[in-house]
Amino acid sequence: MDLALAGKTVVVTGGAQGIGEAVVRALASEGAIPVIVDRDEGVGRLLCEALAAEGHRCELVVCDLVEPGACKAAAEQTMRLAGPPYGLVNNAGLNDGVKLESGSADAFLLSLKRNVLHYFEMVQHLLPSLKRQQGAVVNISSKVALTGQGGTSGYAASKGAILSLTREWAVDLLPHGVRVNAVIPAETMTPQYRQWIQGFPNPEEKLATITGRIPLGKRMTEPEEVAAMVVFLLSPRAGHITGEHLLVDGGYVHLDRSLT
């Protein structure tokens, strides 16, 4: 299926690794122009170079979205490098483990800045272009927003807020034809996830326990599977889908636990 994304500029925050990287690669394969917004210049540049070697165009904006003014600067640099964006994938974030029992108010607020504030700011700064092109926004949330996890109040609050904002923005932008949806991954093997699993005394045993609870195939979701949903939702082929929360998780969240 031709997703009709050829030549369209799409901004992907946190696009250098993990789910973001998979989204960037999927966009490039559709002929879109992905703009990676990431603080890791080395990894982001390697990805752009790899895509260029395959004949794809990709641009890189290096910044830390938590810093004041960074989102505005990223939006302006995107316009200079690749022209007005048609789409935005809000993906950057960090499960930073701000706990209820021991986390401070300052740490909680920093977690919100790391995980949700820049979603709001990026949409704001790209809004004129999104409106003109009747584009699309996809927000990456997490199953933690629906299930809880324990020990990560800031991240959970942020990911829950992302789901609420997805519906709010979908309503706000209806008159302009801009669609806003959220994708909710669960157990997906990314560099962050790999680092988290390595923190257990027996990582392989822990991973086997987790995958054993995933109904479909007893396996982790691949980043490319999440990316496929994201890119479809960005595309005009999803032209009558807005305000949705779509899980890509092998049935992890909603199917009966007796299955596992």
CATH class of 9-186+223-246: alpha beta
- Compute the C-alpha angle 138/248/158, nearest 5°: 55
Spatial separation of the C-alpha atoms in residues 260 and 255, rounded to whole Å: 9
Q: 183 - beta bridge partners?
A: 140, 246
Q: Which of 205, 208, 216, 224 is nearest to 252 (CA)?
A: 216
Residue 59: partners with Cβ closer than 8 Å, 6 or more residues away: 33, 34, 35, 36, 48, 78, 81, 82
Whether residue 98 contacts residue 149, with contact meaning beta carbons closer than 8 Å, is answered with no
Q: What pLDDT digit, counting tens, does each position of 166-187 carry? A: 999 999 999 999 999 999 999 9
- Active site amino acids: 155
Q: Check residue 120 and give its pLDDT.
A: 98
Query: pLDDT in tens for each of the 260 residues of the chain?
Result: 899 999 999 999 999 999 999 999 999 999 999 999 999 999 999 999 999 999 999 999 999 999 999 999 999 999 999 999 999 999 999 988 888 988 899 999 999 999 999 999 999 999 999 999 999 999 999 999 999 888 899 999 999 999 999 999 999 999 999 999 999 999 998 888 888 788 889 888 888 888 999 999 999 999 999 999 999 999 999 999 999 999 999 999 999 877 77
- Residue boundaries of the structural domains of the chain: 9-186+223-246, 189-220
Q: What pLDDT digit, counting tens, does each position of 38-74 carry? A: 999 999 999 999 999 999 999 999 999 999 999 999 9
Spatial separation of the C-alpha atoms in residues 108 and 152, rounded to whole Å: 9
Q: What pTM value is reported for the model?
A: 0.95
